[in-house]
């Protein structure tokens, strides 16, 4: 969502900090905030003016017309303020339909002034620019400003001047105040633009001889501009509308949303309600809320929210866990229902997201049973069959009643089941399996010729269009949607003016897509591109629709894709200019640029005249940037689809990105060939649901576009409806409108004017909004009514009055579409044609494996680590548990090397071994090699490797050999003396015995430290004792034939493996045999080698050359002569 209301205190803080004007703005930063926890002594210390001045006090909780409601205390001293607050603070108050508790108040200095010194100013954003309303009589009794005020439109990218303000706004202002007001208004507009306000109202604005005073202020800012304005905004707090509390769970989900590329929304309406929702998709979430309210569940609806944009398993788990914990806090006498719904996903892996929900259900199964929760599930999209299967299984294993439905069931049918308005099928019909698109029903492997390029239906030659059925004059209106319409408010007089100001001047006369359309895709979206190519292939296109990709973060290269069975290479360019130059036939750009780069990349694209259509997928582009894009696009004749859209589809011709979902849905909805019905929607998810509905009730879709959920979509409903009106193959039009905006009224006018003569079936979602006591911002940024005429109920009634076919609810939309279609078939306008089977397309290996349709021997196996899930796992132990248990490096080594959780003393012993083997000076071969390599200018990895390659039986590699030799001798029953004699007889060295420097008289303290620890903590030390007996024999012959550190670690590790209780004897012997013990020396000594490398670099040592005097040159005599 974009436009969000801010508190009056925040708005004034922005104004006082950043306004640039010659007018003397008074009382800057002179305000004090009061809550029930306020310390009044501290407050007066921070704001001493509270003790000396007359004051004004008022609630700061987004309440309109506070003066009229008696919620402003005027001309009081501090004690008077406290007395005024006493009966009001923390008391429930009713404002219009909303009940809320007053808890945040603002105290400001009282400004003595006359009525003649009060003015009204308001700035608000629309599609074509920013409107300024000014009235020379402000204050609490300002009345109908919309009718009274002077107006000035500042078009997008235009500048506001003081002369324009004086000429158009200040005509009734006294001459002596015009300069001050003009300067302040220009400065205010500069502030409004710089800080991305979308609405700013000051009433009254007081101008006296001393200067300008901002008394009351209301404002909204574009929250999506946070990345631009963060430095000036700081951390902005967006208060909830009056009547709704701010819950910590809402803040938690908002934080998840901010950290995710997906969309996660949660608004608590009635935490004690029995009907809870967990809906995928911004549009679908509104439809489900509408249906619940239509069926009488408005008082029991507990929440509004949505998850979309392919959230991860962990994100859906966190989201679901939050909702389940909220709904199981209080019991309801009738039990509770949870509706897990959604439209047919375009690209979200349904099974993956359901895994997170299933985990949450399992974790909460006890409270869910205790609160008698029944769950209803309906979903479609990629891998939805597996998701539904898993959801059904969790119901069986937990005993929680879970009813599961797929695309064969109408999207909102589960609401009627949950509320007891329709029976629950015992065995719901299931659609074909995802993998069925592999099979050609005609048993013909040859790609069939495409027999229809215009429409699946045969056109009737006598009449190419059917006139819209007009409403009967004076006919009774639907009582369920009765509303006085249009209505006025402070911003816009009526919908006709809104239509006139919308900038609508007729649709661009362009056929957006054909069977020969070529596109460039901005962004490395390989999955979307492959989906487009598969669609092209199944539509029997001659060539792929994607000509190239642009990705600025890599050099020019080729990317591999599939065209049917064949692999092809697609060029990827670093910059747009090269792509355009080398592909002059391209006229469509599909932008997957991020919200931060979408504006710049789109502006660059519009420099190339060959581009006629641009689809912007990104959600969250600041509205001011979108309006600039629209202005340039209108000037250049470019059609923009989006932002915040999945795109659009023209069956048999072209699809944008992920539109229409995967091939199984393409085939199920018959999107591989054109039908007779065109639709336009805001929601991308709901556009796929329309594909499903239209395919089940008519001969299919001719074209469909999702214009996007932002307040200012690049193209409007009317733009596309007019295109559809002028397209012969389209026989009827479906529009899925939405609460917010006035674009649907252009369709009403088009029907009345006769510009639209084809049947229009229309439904505006968001009818539930008028039933809520407080304002709810739905999932789409534009889904919020700022006036009565923008409500879904008002727009549905207007469309019905204009002559469009409007159902009573979304539940009946499919029935109305079928009725209109049947009428067109009956009168011969549509003649359904014979179905032509599409060609088969192979399934990608990765997706087939995801669905469990194939198996393949793995290239290699691993059993110690798994990084695929949400959390790294070491030998079955999540990384968070590793740290929680404080296992240390020894514990991690135990998990990764031995697949065991070792005892604490074993972990400590491993860490001690690493410490004592870390280094033994620069003279040993490994360190020497590392130093030489470092001084030769090599990198760390090369230098370290050089040192490690010297490790072997002669240096450091004696751990394994010592363990093997001593174990073999001990296990065979040899006495220590027999072992020593045998090794001498065989001419072999005893590994782990002997040291160049240390001796029995100069013991190695490393060995002594380890020996003390082992004797104190190990359960048994048979192998160590045997080795020490051997040492007594060898040192009696020569004092330096001691048990060295390698030998000690080797034999002690054998004792550890055999006696710690974690290994069988065979397992212990296997670890010795496969060389695990040498790993201790390698790992420990690597620390020392790295230290030597860093030391040489720090000392800036040059290339090493060995001195001649340290080399004995022994050449053959005849060579030295």
Q: Which residues of 495-509 are buried (b: 16+ CB within 10 A; e: fewer)?
A: beebbebbbbeebbe
> What pLDDT, on a 0 to 100 scale, did the predictor assign at position 1060?
93
Phi, psi (rounded to 5 degrees) for 707? -75, -15
Report the candidate in 925, 831, 1004, 810 with the shortest Cα–Cα distance to residue 284.
810
> What pLDDT, on a 0 to 100 scale, did the predictor assign at position 501?
39
Active site residue 780: yes
The mean per-residue pLDDT over the stretch 429-447 comes to 43
CA separation for the pair 247, 305 (Å, rounded): 14
Residue 106: C-alpha distances to residues 12, 30, 53, 195, 423 (Å): 11, 10, 15, 23, 54
Q: What is the dihedral of CA 92, 98, 103, 105, to 10 degrees?
A: -120
CA separation for the pair 745, 496 (Å, rounded): 8
Q: Which residue did the predictor score with more confidence, 154 or 443?
A: 154
- DSSP H or E segment with residue 639: strand 639-641
> What pLDDT, on a 0 to 100 scale, did the predictor assign at position 955?
81
User: How high is the mean pLDDT of the chain?
Assistant: 88
The mean per-residue pLDDT over the stretch 513-540 comes to 95
The mean per-residue pLDDT over the stretch 957-972 comes to 90
> What pLDDT, on a 0 to 100 scale, did the predictor assign at position 773?
55
Strands 105-109 and 55-59: antiparallel
Confidence band of 610 (pLDDT split at 50, 70, 90): very high
Catalytic residue among 481, 612, 780, 995: 780
This prediction has a pTM of 0.80
CA separation for the pair 1095, 300 (Å, rounded): 70
Residue-wise pLDDT tens digits, 1000-1018: 999 999 999 999 999 999 9
Q: Kindly tell me if the per-residue pLDDT of 498 is higher than 50.
A: no
Angle at alpha carbon of residue 275, lines to 273 and 279, rounded to 5°: 130
Q: Which residue did the predictor score with more confidence, 3 or 455?
A: 3
Residue-wise pLDDT tens digits, 195-231: 999 999 999 999 999 999 999 999 999 999 999 999 9
Q: Kindly tell me if the per-residue pLDDT of 24 is higher than 80.
A: yes
Asked whether 62 and 11 are in contact (CB, 8 A), the reply is no
- Which pair of tokens denotes residue 472? 């009967």
Confidence band of 741 (pLDDT split at 50, 70, 90): confident
Asked whether 797 and 483 are in contact (CB, 8 A), the reply is yes
> What pLDDT, on a 0 to 100 scale, did the predictor assign at position 508?
61
Residue-wise pLDDT tens digits, 1031-1076: 999 999 999 999 999 899 999 999 999 999 999 999 999 999 988 8
Q: How far is CA 59 from the centre of its chain?
A: 35
Q: What percent of the chain has pLDDT over 90?
A: 71
Residue-wise pLDDT tens digits, 757-781: 999 999 999 888 777 655 666 655 5
CA separation for the pair 463, 366 (Å, rounded): 64
Q: What percent of the chain has pLDDT over 70?
A: 91
Q: Kindly tell me if the per-residue pLDDT of 450 is higher than 80.
A: no
> What pLDDT, on a 0 to 100 scale, did the predictor assign at position 462?
31
The length of the chain is 1121
> What pLDDT, on a 0 to 100 scale, did the predictor assign at position 780?
59
> What pLDDT, on a 0 to 100 scale, did the predictor assign at position 208?
95
10 Å Cβ neighbour count for 440?
Answer: 16
Report DSSP letters for 517-579, one per residue: --EEEES--HHHHHHHHHHHHHTT-SS-SEEEEE-TTS-SEEEEEEETTEEEEEEEESSHHHH
Residue 278 CB contacts under 8 Å (≥ 6 apart), including other chains:
305, 307, 319, 320, 323, 338, 339, 340, 341, 357
Q: Is the peptide bond before 306 cis (omega within 30 degrees of 0)?
A: no
Confidence band of 438 (pLDDT split at 50, 70, 90): very low
10 Å Cβ neighbour count for 316?
Answer: 26
CA separation for the pair 83, 71 (Å, rounded): 14
- Tokens 């006598």 label which residue? 462
CA separation for the pair 922, 895 (Å, rounded): 32
Residue-wise pLDDT tens digits, 273-308: 999 999 998 889 999 999 999 899 989 999 998 898
CA separation for the pair 1083, 910 (Å, rounded): 11
């Amino acid at each position: 969502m974009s436009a969000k209301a801010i508190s009056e205190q925040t708005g004034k803080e922005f104004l006082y900090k950043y306004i640039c004007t010659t007018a003397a703005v008074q009382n800057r930063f002179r305000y004090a905030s009061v809550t029930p926890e306020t310390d009044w002594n501290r407050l007066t210390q921070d704001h001493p003016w509270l003790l000396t001045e007359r004051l004004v006090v008022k609630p700061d909780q987004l309440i309109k017309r506070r003066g009229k409601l008696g919620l402003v205390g005027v001309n009081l001293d501090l004690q008077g303020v406290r007395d005024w607050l006493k009966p009001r603070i923390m008391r429930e108050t009713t404002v219009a339909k909303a009940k809320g508790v007053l808890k945040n108040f603002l105290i400001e200095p009282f400004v003595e002034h006359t009525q003649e010194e009060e003015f009204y100013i308001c700035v608000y954003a629309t599609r074509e620019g920013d409107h300024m309303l000014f009235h020379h009589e402000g204050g609490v009794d300002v009345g109908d400003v919309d009718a009274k005020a002077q107006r000035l439109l500042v078009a997008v990218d235009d500048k506001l001047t003081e002369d324009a303000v004086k000429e158009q706004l200040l005509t009734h202002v006294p001459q002596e105040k015009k300069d001050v007001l003009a300067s302040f208004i220009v400065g205010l507009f500069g502030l409004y633009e710089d800080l991305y306000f979308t609405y700013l109202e000051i009433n009254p604005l007081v101008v006296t001889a001393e200067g300008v005073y901002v008394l009351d202020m209301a404002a909204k800012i574009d929250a999506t501009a946070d990345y631009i304005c963060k430095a000036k905004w700081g951390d902005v707090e967006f208060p909830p509308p009056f009547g709704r509390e701010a819950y910590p769970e809402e803040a938690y989900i908002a934080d998840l949303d901010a950290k995710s590329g997906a969309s996660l929304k949660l608004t608590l309406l009635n935490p004690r309600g029995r009907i809870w929702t967990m809906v995928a998709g911004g549009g679908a979430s509104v439809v489900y809320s509408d249906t619940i309210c239509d069926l009488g569940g408005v008082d029991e609806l507990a929440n509004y929210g949505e998850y979309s944009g392919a959230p991860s398993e962990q994100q859906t788990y966190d989201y679901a866990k939050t909702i389940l914990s909220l709904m199981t806090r209080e019991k309801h006498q009738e039990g509770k229902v949870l509706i897990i719904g959604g439209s047919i996903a375009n690209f979200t892996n349904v099974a993956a997201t359901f895994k997170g929900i299933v985990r949450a259900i399992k974790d909460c199964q006890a409270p869910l049973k205790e609160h008698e929760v029944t769950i209803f599930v309906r979903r479609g999209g990629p891998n939805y069959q597996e998701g539904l299967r898993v959801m059904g299984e969790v119901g069986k294993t937990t005993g929680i009643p879970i009813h599961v439905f797929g695309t064969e069931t109408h999207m909102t049918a589960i609401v009627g089941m949950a509320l007891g308005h329709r029976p629950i099928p015992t065995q719901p019909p299931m659609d074909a399996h995802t993998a069925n698109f592999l099979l050609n029903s005609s048993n013909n492997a040859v790609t069939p010729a495409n027999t229809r390029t215009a429409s699946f239906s045969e056109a009737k030659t006598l009449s190419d269009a059917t006139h819209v059925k007009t409403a009967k004059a004076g006919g009774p209106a639907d009582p369920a949607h009765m509303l006085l319409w249009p209505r006025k408010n402070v911003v816009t007089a009526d919908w006709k003016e809104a239509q006139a100001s919308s900038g609508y001047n007729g649709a661009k006369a362009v056929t957006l897509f054909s069977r020969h359309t070529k596109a460039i895709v901005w962004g490395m979206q390989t999955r979307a591109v492959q989906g487009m190519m598969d669609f092209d292939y199944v539509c029997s296109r001659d060539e792929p629709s994607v000509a190239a990709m642009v990705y600025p973060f890599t050099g020019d290269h080729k990317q591999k894709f599939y065209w049917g069975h064949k692999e092809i290479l697609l060029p990827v360019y670093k910059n747009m200019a090269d792509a355009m130059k080398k592909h002059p036939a391209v006229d469509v750009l599909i932008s997957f640029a991020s919200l931060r780069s979408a504006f710049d990349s789109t502006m660059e694209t519009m420099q190339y005249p060959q581009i006629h259509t641009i689809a912007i997928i990104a959600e969250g582009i600041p509205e001011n940037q979108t309006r600039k894009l629209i202005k340039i696009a209108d000037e250049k004749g470019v059609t923009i689809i989006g932002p915040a859209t999945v795109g659009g589809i023209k069956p048999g011709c072209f699809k944008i990105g992920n539109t229409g979902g995967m091939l199984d849905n393409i085939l199920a909805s018959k999107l591989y060939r054109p039908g007779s019905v065109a639709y336009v929607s805001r929601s991308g998810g709901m556009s796929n649901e329309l594909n499903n509905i239209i395919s089940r009730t008519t001969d299919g879709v001719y074209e469909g576009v999702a214009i996007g959920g932002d307040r200012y979509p690049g193209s409007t409903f009317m733009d596309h409806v007019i295109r559809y009106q002028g397209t012969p193959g389209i026989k009827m039009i479906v529009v899925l409108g939405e609460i917010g905006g006035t674009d649907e009224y252009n369709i009403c006018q088009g029907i009345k004017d006769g510009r639209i003569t084809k049947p229009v079936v229309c439904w505006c979602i968001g009818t539930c909004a008028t039933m809520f006591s407080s304002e709810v911002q739905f999932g789409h940024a534009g889904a919020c009514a700022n006036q009565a005429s923008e409500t879904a109920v008002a727009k549905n009634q207007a469309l019905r009055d204009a002559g469009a076919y409007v159902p009573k609810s979304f539940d009946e939309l499919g029935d109305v579409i079928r009725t209109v279609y049947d009428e067109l078939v009956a009168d011969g306008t549509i003649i359904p044609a014979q179905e032509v089977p599409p060609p088969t397309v192979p399934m990608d290996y990765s997706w087939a494996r995801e669905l469990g349709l194939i198996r393949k021997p793995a290239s290699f196996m691993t059993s110690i680590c798994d990084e695929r899930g949400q959390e790294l796992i070491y030998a079955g132990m999540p990384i968070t548990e590793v740290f929680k248990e404080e296992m240390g490096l020894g514990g991690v080594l135990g998990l990764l090397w031995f697949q065991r959780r070792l005892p604490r003393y074993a972990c400590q012993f491993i860490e001690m071994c690493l410490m004592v083997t870390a280094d033994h000076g620069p003279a040993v071969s490994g360190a020497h090699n590392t130093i030489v390599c470092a001084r030769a200018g090599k990198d760390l990895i090369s230098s370290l490797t050089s040192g490690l390659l010297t490790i072997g039986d002669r240096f450091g590699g004696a751990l394994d050999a010592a363990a093997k030799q001593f174990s073999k001798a001990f296990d065979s029953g040899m006495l220590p003396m027999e072992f020593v004699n045998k090794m001498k007889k065989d001419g072999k060295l005893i590994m782990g015995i002997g040291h160049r420097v240390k001796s029995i008289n100069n013991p190695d303290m490393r060995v002594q430290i380890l020996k003390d620890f082992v004797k104190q903590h190990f359960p048994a030390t048979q192998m160590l004792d045997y080795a020490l007996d051997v040492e007594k024999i060898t040192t009696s012959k020569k004092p330096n034939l001691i048990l060295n550190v390698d030998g000690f670690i080797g034999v002690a590790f054998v004792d550890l493996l055999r006696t710690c209780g974690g290994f069988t004897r065979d397992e212990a012997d296997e670890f010795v045999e496969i060389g695990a013990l040498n790993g201790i020396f390698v790992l420990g000594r690597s620390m020392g080698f790295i230290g030597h490398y860093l030391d040489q670099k720090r000392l800036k040592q040059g290339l090493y050359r060995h001195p001649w005097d340290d080399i004995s040159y022994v050449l053959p005599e005849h060579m030295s002569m």
